[in-house]
Structure 1
């Protein structure tokens, strides 16, 4: 029993190590990202290639042009390091209301999303959010966290003595605890950070940042998620709306300054 108690404490301590940041995100948040970015980019490119084989791109030239215009307009205001990358934006012919980003500067948007994103600024909120995931290296953080957590639990299991029903129950509980207490909240922090970075990007690009709030109201009305926030990788719609509204004033000022110079975006 003492050996199991020691292993329990050692495993918890090892799991907590993954919360110590090795670098910082664009917002100054400490990050744990241990994999080479080149390796993550390679994985992202490979995954995106497979997705393009499995899901056809939209044949609607007008919609493709609108999505590309929004993406290009936002990319144009990014820092040089990211603006000069070879971004690939694909509109997939799929009715799911979703978009995604992968390391390697890959972004996918599904046609179903365009039924909820009712104008260019609402689409810009989504595209800016996805660009932010890539820029903030969220993919690297997520994989690094999962690897560190699984390795810590595996090490603790090996050091905890002989097999027993008690040992199995304890480590099953630790696995659930790590999922809820570390991995899921970590992903929610990514989503919140991407929302706020995306808000900044879209405003600088001349899209109305107020439409980001309306987008999530549209999402909420669609009722596409019933998962409690505690057990979700995404914040609730109400949380996202509150966070966006709290950070609206400086971004709206940036947008207003562009409007005064007649430099707001006009993709469609």
Structure 2
């Protein structure tokens, strides 16, 4: 048992030091995967989505999604993705959108109903692209890998000491990491992406105030069917709204000086 503990501590320290990085907001990050690998994963996942989910052919939907998304991605540095972003609208009623490493953006038709204006749609697209800019996918995969490593060591230690009720201990450890580590990390990512997206939409000429109205619409669409924030990967809508309002003044200045977009 002692040998296992002594081996794990320096191994974990080496992993953490090797993957230490900083997010666009100055937060420390753990990133263990290469950018090329993440982009390949993003492209492969998007190709699978296009095969498994019906694509919308509605010209109004396509024009709206492409105009907003292209306006947002025009403000993204080439170091994030040096190519032409691909935008697809999926014919599905779920209220969602996503962006993937490798320059891929997916928007569901359900979102186009809840995001009543192009400014509101820009808030969602900016948020999703914010995840890519901050490399949250890399960070989540990296922290999950480290957490899994810890659970494997815990299993070894419990087995070596013949601890009773090992299954219950492992279940508790897993839940503890999820609530105490993984979920707060996810909520941090969501809040960070909100702020990155807010700045992106302002630079692209979309009114950042509409991000607040968007989340009011999202909360209404959910009909109160949300888990407690402690057990959710996303901040509560009211928390998001308050955070957006706190950070509104700097982006309003950007918006006022930015050239207006051509999205009708």
Normalising to structure 1: TM-score of the pair? 0.88
Aligned equivalents of 1:164 and 1:187: distance in 2? 32
Unpaired runs of at least 5, structure 1:
none
Helix, strand or coil at the partner of 1:82: coil
- How far residue 18 of structure 1 moved from its aligned partner, in angstroms, is 6.0
Structure-to-structure mapping, 1:33-112, within 5 angstroms? 33-82=31-80, 84-112=82-110
Alignment pair present for 1:169 and 2:202 = no
CA contact (8 A) 2:42 2:104 kept: yes
Aligned equivalents of 1:121 and 1:129: distance in 2? 12
Tell me the alpha carbon deviations over residues 177-204 of structure 1, each in whole angstroms, 9 at most, x when there is no partner. 0011111111111110000000000001
Give the number of equivalent residue pairs.
257
Aligned equivalents of 1:20 and 1:180: distance in 2? 26
- How far residue 163 of structure 1 moved from its aligned partner, in angstroms, is 4.2
Aligned equivalents of 1:180 and 1:42: distance in 2? 30
Q: Structure 1: which 4+ aligned runs deviate by more than 3 Å?
A: 17-21
Q: Aligned in 2, Cα 1:181/1:21: closer, same or farther, shift over 3 Å?
A: farther
Aligned equivalents of 1:98 and 1:199: distance in 2? 17
Match of 1:189 in 2: 188
Aligned equivalents of 1:94 and 1:180: distance in 2? 30
CA contact (8 A) 2:81 2:103 kept: no
Q: Aligned in 2, Cα 1:18/1:231: closer, same or farther, shift over 3 Å?
A: farther
Give the counterpart of 1:122 among 120, 131, 155.
Answer: 120
CA contact (8 A) 2:85 2:103 kept: yes
Tell me the alpha carbon deviations over residues 19-53 of structure 1, each in whole angstroms, 9 at most, x when there is no partner. 99710111111111101121111111111111110
Tell me the alpha carbon deviations over residues 105-131 of structure 1, each in whole angstroms, 9 at most, x when there is no partner. 222110000111001100000010111
Aligned equivalents of 1:82 and 1:142: distance in 2? 18
Helix, strand or coil at the partner of 2:88: strand
Aligned CA-pair RMSD? 2.4
CA contact (8 A) 2:18 2:32 kept: no
CA contact (8 A) 2:204 2:261 kept: yes
Tell me the alpha carbon deviations over residues 157-214 of structure 1, each in whole angstroms, 9 at most, x when there is no partner. 2133154433333222111100111111111111100000000000011000000000
Q: Aligned in 2, Cα 1:117/1:59: closer, same or farther, shift over 3 Å?
A: same
Tell me the alpha carbon deviations over residues 130-167 of structure 1, each in whole angstroms, 9 at most, x when there is no partner. 11111111111111111110111102221331544333
Aligned equivalents of 2:39 and 2:154: distance in 1? 31
CA contact (8 A) 1:100 1:130 kept: yes
Helix, strand or coil at the partner of 1:34: coil
